[in-house]
């Protein structure tokens, strides 16, 4: 039997199945987000223009602000998708108790661990290999003929030094680690090569053998983490990418820290903004997210006037201006959720089969939204994730069973959701007695 390989299947259908699978699990799809995005055209355009500037060697940042249910997570995912489509490497860091804002080493480590290209996740090895291969190719091209392995290796090592000369003036360890990685791979010493990548990524417990081979003492710490980030971006650009786009999510967790830790974290933001403006971090784009309390609360950004001055907005009215330092998201409403549902219908048609639009009519969608919001205090903004999970279930049943009529058969039973509710959802849920 001739079974088609996955790569021979229609890419649009594969992407559609991935979107539906993610919504079925209550997560944000890995790709194709523009197909279900609603009401973000202005914001996406502003972010796209920033990325175009960064791709030319600039550095820029944007702060996204919104309550739970405003779509921060979706916009971040969409922004990173736009960046990858423009040839950037991306990374998504979530601020937490284990990765607090004030610990630069932890943030750098998460950046390295989550590097992603349009083709691959956890892409640091591929990026470094591509960079080294491009150096070798250039050297061979310049020579005009075959080059002996020993000569090519020596020339490549010099090119590594030259490419990172600006970084090596401050710290020579990154170039030494990359040289060691290159030589170890050429010699088939892959364990040493893997240790080199681990050390560059600030992973803990890297073996002594690698450090002795590279002539390196110590590890990456908070004082040099962003110097290494600049070196990493040089490697990324040398590998043929436009730069890096980094999302730093859930900054509001910083408010729960002790005062000195909070202020140190906020000062980190000041340093990043100023470094971008000075041109010290070329080809870097930072996207930060937080709740309104993070920006305006007494334990938030307002408590550090130099930072608040840098990112405060000058005017808020009905004409939203996402070119300002902050993108201010409004809460999700019924009209937006209806539009998302209609877009999901189109995606489902690509993934499986055309849904029965009479059984899953616009009227039914409205009724379904009302049934769910009634159990959550009328709050549409907290239900999109739950609604979409339920909606996909309805579409599945309509496709699987010709006699299934959701207008008669569907009722929202929240009991099976209680173990998976997020705290914001649980807080407004109407309890039945």
Ramachandran sector of residue 305 (left: φ over 0; alpha: ψ -120 to 50; beta: rest): alpha
The 10 Å Cβ neighbour count of residue 411 is 8
Confidence of residue 248 (pLDDT cuts 50, 70, 90): very high
Looking at residues 352-374, what average pLDDT do you find?
A: 92
Q: How many CA within 13 A on the CB side of residue 39?
A: 18
Classify burial at 310, counting beta carbons within 10 Å of its beta carbon; exposed 0-12, middle 13-18, buried 19 or more. middle
Q: Among 238-242, 376-380, 421-425, name the most confident range.
A: 238-242
CA torsion through residues 343, 345, 350, 356, sign: negative
Measured between alpha carbons, how far is 235 from 130 in angstroms, rounded to an integer? Answer: 9
CA torsion through residues 82, 349, 17, 9, sign: negative
Question: So what's the pLDDT on residue 420?
Answer: 65
**Model's pTM, two decimal places?**
0.87
pLDDT tens-place string over residues 25-75? 988 898 899 999 988 899 999 999 999 999 999 999 999 999 887 888 899
Classify burial at 366, counting beta carbons within 10 Å of its beta carbon; exposed 0-12, middle 13-18, buried 19 or more. middle
Given a cut of 50, is residue 138 above it in pLDDT? Answer: yes
Backbone phi and psi for residue 310, each to the nearest 5 degrees, phi listed first: -70, -30
Question: So what's the pLDDT on residue 103?
Answer: 95
Given a cut of 90, is residue 8 above it in pLDDT? Answer: no
Backbone phi and psi for residue 96, each to the nearest 5 degrees, phi listed first: -155, -175
State the fold for domain 39-117+241-328. Answer: Rossmann fold (3.40.50)
Looking at residues 159-173, what average pLDDT do you find?
A: 79
pLDDT tens-place string over residues 367-422? 999 999 988 888 888 888 889 999 999 999 999 999 999 998 888 876 665 546 66
DSSP string over 265-289: HHHHHHHHHHHHHHTSSTTEEEEEE
The sheet carrying 89-94 orders its strands as: 89-94, 244-249, 284-290, 59-65, 326-328
Question: So what's the pLDDT on residue 433?
Answer: 39
CATH 3.40.50.300 range(s) for the chain read 39-117+241-328
Measured between alpha carbons, how far is 402 from 399 in angstroms, rounded to an integer? Answer: 7
Please state, rounded to an integer, the average pLDDT across all residues of the chain.
89
Residue given tokens 């996207």 in the structure block: 287
Contact 236, 55 (CB under 8 A): no
Residue given tokens 């408590």 in the structure block: 303
């Amino acid at each position: 039997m001739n079974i088609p390989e996955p790569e021979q299947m229609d890419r649009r259908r594969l992407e559609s199945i991935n979107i539906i699978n993610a919504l079925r699990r209550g997560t944000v799809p890995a790709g194709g987000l523009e197909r279900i995005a609603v009401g973000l055209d202005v914001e996406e355009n502003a972010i796209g223009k920033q990325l175009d500037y960064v791709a030319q060697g600039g550095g820029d940042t944007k702060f996204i602000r919104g309550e739970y249910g405003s779509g921060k997570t979706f916009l971040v995912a969409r922004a990173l998708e736009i960046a990858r489509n423009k040839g950037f490497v991306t990374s998504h860091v979530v601020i937490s108790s284990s990765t607090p804002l004030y610990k630069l080493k932890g943030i750098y480590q998460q950046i390295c661990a989550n590097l992603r290209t349009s083709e691959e996740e956890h892409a640091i090895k591929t990026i470094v290999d591509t960079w080294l291969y491009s150096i070798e190719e250039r050297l061979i091209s310049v020579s005009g003929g075959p080059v002996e392995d020993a000569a090519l290796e020596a020339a490549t090592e010099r090119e590594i030094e030259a490419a990172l000369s600006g970084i090596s003036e401050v710290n020579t360890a990154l170039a030494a680690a990359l040289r060691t990685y290159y030589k170890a791979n050429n010699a088939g010493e892959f364990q040493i090569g893997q240790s080199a990548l681990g050390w560059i990524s600030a992973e803990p417990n890297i073996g002594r053998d690698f450090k002795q081979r590279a002539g390196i003492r110590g590890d990456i710490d908070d004082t040099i983490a962003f110097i290494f980030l600049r070196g990493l971006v040089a490697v990324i650009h040398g590998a043929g990418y436009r730069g890096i786009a980094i999302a730093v999510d859930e900054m509001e967790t910083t408010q729960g820290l002790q005062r000195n830790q909070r202020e140190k974290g906020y000062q980190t933001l000041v340093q990043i903004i100023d470094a971008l403006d000075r041109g010290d971090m070329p080809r870097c784009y930072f996207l930060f997210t937080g709740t309104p309390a993070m920006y305006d609360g007494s334990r938030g950004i307002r408590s550090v006037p130099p930072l608040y001055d840098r990112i405060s907005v000058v005017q808020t009215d009905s004409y939203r201006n996402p070119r300002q330092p902050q993108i201010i998201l409004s809460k999700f409403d019924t009209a937006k959720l209806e539009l998302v549902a209609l877009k999901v219908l189109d995606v489902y048609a690509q993934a499986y089969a055309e849904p029965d639009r009479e059984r899953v009519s616009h009227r039914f969608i409205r009724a379904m939204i009302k049934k769910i919001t009634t159990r959550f205090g009328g709050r549409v903004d907290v239900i999109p994730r739950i609604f979409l999970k339920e909606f996909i279930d309805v579409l599945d049943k309509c496709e699987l069973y010709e006699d299934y009529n959701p207008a008669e058969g569907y009722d929202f039973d929240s009991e099976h959701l209680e173990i998976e509710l997020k705290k914001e959802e649980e807080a407004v849920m109407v309890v039945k007695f």
